[in-house]
Amino acid sequence: MAKNPHYFSQLAHIEVLTPVLEKSVQFFTDIVGLDVTDRDENSVYLRAWGDYFHHTLKLTQSDKPGWGHLGWRADSDEALADAVVYLEKTGAGIGWVEGDKGHGKAYRFKSPNGHVHEIFWDVVWLKEQGARKSVFTDRYASNRRRGICPRRFDHITYNTAQYPAEKAFWCGLGLKNPDEVRITDALPPVGGLFTTGNLSHDIAIFTDPHIKKDDPVLNHVAFNFDSREEVLLACDWVIENGYKLAMGGPTRHKADEGFFIYVDEPGGNRFEFYAGARLIFAPDHGPDVHYLKDNPNDAWGNVTPWASADGSLKKEHGSHKH
């Protein structure tokens, strides 16, 4: 049997830091509709009704918002061992840590701009009972229509001061690169999407020339709906509860065709809620090239977090950049 050419099976969870933990928890339970699955002294663990692992979002009390770590599940126990060998060889390895709630031992590593990740194999498949139990056997929690009610954790986006190194790092780990963003063909790419499988992306990485190397900047975290109609309904629920849509309204990405909104939670982190992005099945597809002047972020409008009118990079502004 052919050996899988990458080490990861999927994106598993993200830890997000917040200076107002309980307010952030209230936002994600009452406004977003996630379930709390566990908590400890400094952190609360949550997931959407369509997620299968113990948690997909970990909120941790901190003095400022931003990136904690990103969790990946390996393809197998053997793939985990192979990944550790590769990460140590490249100098990206940090070392083994005891398993957090919901998974076994994990190996931590850093991507080129200092973002901390971990990879593990053993996981808790949390199948709810009682009031949260679903009548659908293949659902591990019921869809109780709470808040805007996304189905599952989808992807994350972060910023970097050294995109070419990031691209080489993730391609070396076996992720596909279906979309790429450039200023011109004469210059190196400034951003791109990367996926372990068929989703348009598990991670998106974009250049911010105003940040420093080893500055792990979180741009946003995304949860997915089954339909665009649910994105529109989410707009009403968000503004009815006193929050604002970060770009003023829903629109569509030109780079992956996802229909989306951005919302900033009380801790200062930006979250995306979206539906309808393309799926990619061919292992050798892409990258499809997009240019900043064509605004790959906002197909239907003119809002872009990346480019000035002349197509050059501009500094991001907003509470999600830390």
Reported as a single tens digit per residue, the pLDDT across 19-56 is 999 999 999 999 999 999 999 999 999 999 999 999 99
Q: What is the pTM of this model?
A: 0.93
DSSP label at 138?
A: T
- Strand arrangement, sheet containing 176-182: 251-252, 259-264, 270-275, 217-224, 152-160, 203-207, 191-195, 176-182, 288-291
pLDDT of residue 29: 98
| 3-state SS, residue 222 | strand
Query: 134-170: string of b/e by CB count within 10 Å (b at 16+)?
Result: beeeebbbeeeeebbbbbebbbbbbbbbbbeebbebb
Two tokens at 176?
């596909």
Phi, psi of 237 (to 5 degrees): -65, -40
pLDDT of residue 55: 98
Which one, of 111, 306, 313, 305, lies nearest residue 216 by Cα? 111
H/E segment holding residue 83: helix 77-90
Say if residue 266 is preceded by a cis peptide, omega within 30 of 0: no
Which CATH number among 3.10.180.10, 2.30.180.10, 3.40.605.10, 3.40.50.12780 corresponds to the domain 8-294?
Answer: 3.10.180.10
Give the end-to-end CA distance of the chain in Å, rounded to a whole number: 45
Reported as a single tens digit per residue, the pLDDT across 252-306 is 999 999 999 999 999 999 999 999 999 999 988 989 999 999 989 899 987 766 5
Q: What is the mean pLDDT of the chain?
A: 92
pLDDT of residue 321: 43
pLDDT of residue 309: 46
Percentage with pLDDT > 90 across the chain: 85
Residue 180 in contact with residue 296, Cβ under 8 Å? no
Residue 251 in contact with residue 260, Cβ under 8 Å? yes
pLDDT of residue 4: 66
Residue 123 in contact with residue 73, Cβ under 8 Å? yes
What residue spans define the domains of the chain? Answer: 8-294
- How far is residue 89's CA from residue 263's CA, in Å, rounded to a whole number? 39
Reported as a single tens digit per residue, the pLDDT across 152-203 is 999 999 999 999 999 999 999 999 999 999 999 999 999 999 999 999 999 9
Q: How confident is the model at residue 207 (pLDDT cuts 50, 70, 90)?
A: very high
- How far is residue 58's CA from residue 71's CA, in Å, rounded to a whole number? 10
pLDDT of residue 303: 75
Residue 166 in contact with residue 113, Cβ under 8 Å? yes
Please say if the pLDDT value at position 83 is more than 70: yes
pLDDT of residue 317: 39
Please say if the pLDDT value at position 123 is more than 50: yes
- How far is residue 172's CA from residue 89's CA, in Å, rounded to a whole number? 12
Q: In terms of C-beta density within 10 A (0-12 exposed, 13-18 middle, 19 or more buried), how is residue 12 classed?
A: buried
- Amino acid identity at 105: K
| 3-state SS, residue 292 | helix
